[in-house]
Amino acid sequence: MTTVQRLELLHRIADEKPINSNVGFMPAADCDDSPATRPAAGIVEATPADPTPAEAFPFAPGTEESETTGIADLVELILKRRDRVERLIRDPSLQSLLLPKFLAIALTGFVFFGVALSLVFTSAGRWPRLTPIRDLVAGEASSVVRFDSLGDSETQRRPWLDGSAEALVAAYAIGLIAATGICLPSLYFYGLLAGVRITMLDVVIQSLKAKATAAVALVGILPIYAALGLAVAIFDLPFSVRNATFWLGLLLPFLAGLFGTYSLYQGLAGFTDTLSPERGWRRECFLRRLVLGWAACYTAVTPVMIHTLWAMLDRT
């Protein structure tokens, strides 16, 4: 504090009006200072605390959690209060209630993405055609997907009529969830290997929470990709730019999956509180490596799952 500020503070103190204390005089007769009423030495009389009114706690135990377990509420919590999501899914009484809702959020987001991607392809006059994996292994093909021309405006509606668009939507929506189910046992094993006390139900709900987070992030990224898709459909861009835009759309769920991977790590890292403090900080670093290893395993399994389902459902 500078000298000028000290002087201003002293002036304000000097200008303050004195406080009148309306303390009445207590006559000596009212003060009973007899040894019987005098407190013993070293003993302080405790005054009863004012009872806390019930209005100070407007929510009964569990009321606030029950009001925030709807699908719309969970989406809002994923966007704004991820720490509260972690507290909700650690409650054993809410896990069976949250499981189908996280699954519904994930499926809705992935279906919305599949429909938007199909619209971009048909608007641009191209449609992805899969190359069998056996041809790739045998060296008879150089790319797993080729983008064929749909021709005139009449044939651009063909993918919606022959089931090709529905196959793409189902392959992504089911494949992203099914790949998680395949990798669940390894994630449970990694958690036990890190030394955290975790159950299989904890692993399932953490995985679905991560899928829901990735789906919400994917829907948030879609408007930007839709703008790129419109540019490809309207302007005569180079072939390489068009193909790069198409490939970006196919890989977009994996980019959004980074948000889900981080959410999964945050959730599993919270289980280090079940360990002793001297072990928790060491196991957290080890758990981070295990989650990254599981993410790499999931990244390898998911494209194969999507390709297999897409080829099985698309009979055109």
Instruction: Flag whether pLDDT at 38 surpasses 60.
Output: no
- Count of domains observed in the chain: 1
Asked if residue 35 belongs to a domain, the reply is no
- Higher pLDDT: 115 or 143? It is 115
Q: Which of 40-44, 53-57, 99-103, 217-221 comes out lowest in average pLDDT?
A: 53-57
Average the pLDDT over each of 11-20, 46-55, 190-199, 217-226 and give the range with the smallest value. 46-55
Domain membership of residue 277 as a residue range: 71-313
pLDDT for res 68: 66
| Residue indicated by tokens 């890190």 | 194
Q: What is the pLDDT of residue 275?
A: 66
Q: Is residue 39 part of a domain?
A: no
Does the structure show a pLDDT above 80 at 34?
Answer: no
Whether 221 is in a domain gets the answer yes
pLDDT in the model for residue 168: 92
> Per-residue b/e over 154-180, b at no fewer than 16 CB within 10 Å?
eebeebeeeebbbbbbbbbbbbbbbbb
Rounded to 5 degrees, φ, ψ at 29 are -70, -25
Best-predicted range by mean pLDDT (36-50, 145-159, 198-212)? 198-212
**Residue that wins the pLDDT comparison between 30 and 170:** 170
Domain annotation covers residue 1: no
Q: Does pLDDT of 19 surpass 80? A: no
Is the pLDDT at 85 greater than 80? The verdict is: yes
Q: Evaluate whether residue 43 is within a structural domain.
A: no
Q: What is the mean pLDDT of residues 86-113?
A: 90
Residue 35 in this model has a pLDDT that exceeds 90 = no
Q: Is 125 left (phi over 0), alpha (psi -120 to 50) or beta?
A: left
Digit-coded pLDDT (tens) for 239-255: 888 999 999 999 999 99
What separation, in Å, do the N-terminal and C-terminal C-alpha atoms of the chain show? 80
Phi/psi of residue 126, nearest 5 degrees:
-130, 155
In a domain, 145, yes or no: yes
Least confident of 22-36, 45-59, 64-78, 138-152: 45-59
Q: What is the pLDDT of residue 288?
A: 75
Which residues are registered as beta bridge partners of 127?
Answer: 148
Given a cut of 70, whether residue 66 has pLDDT beyond it is no
Q: What pLDDT, on the 0 to 100 scale, is given for residue 61? A: 41
DSSP 139: T
Is residue 60 situated within a structural domain?
A: no
pLDDT (tens digit per residue) in 139-157: 777 788 888 888 766 667 8
Average pLDDT taken over every residue of the chain: 77
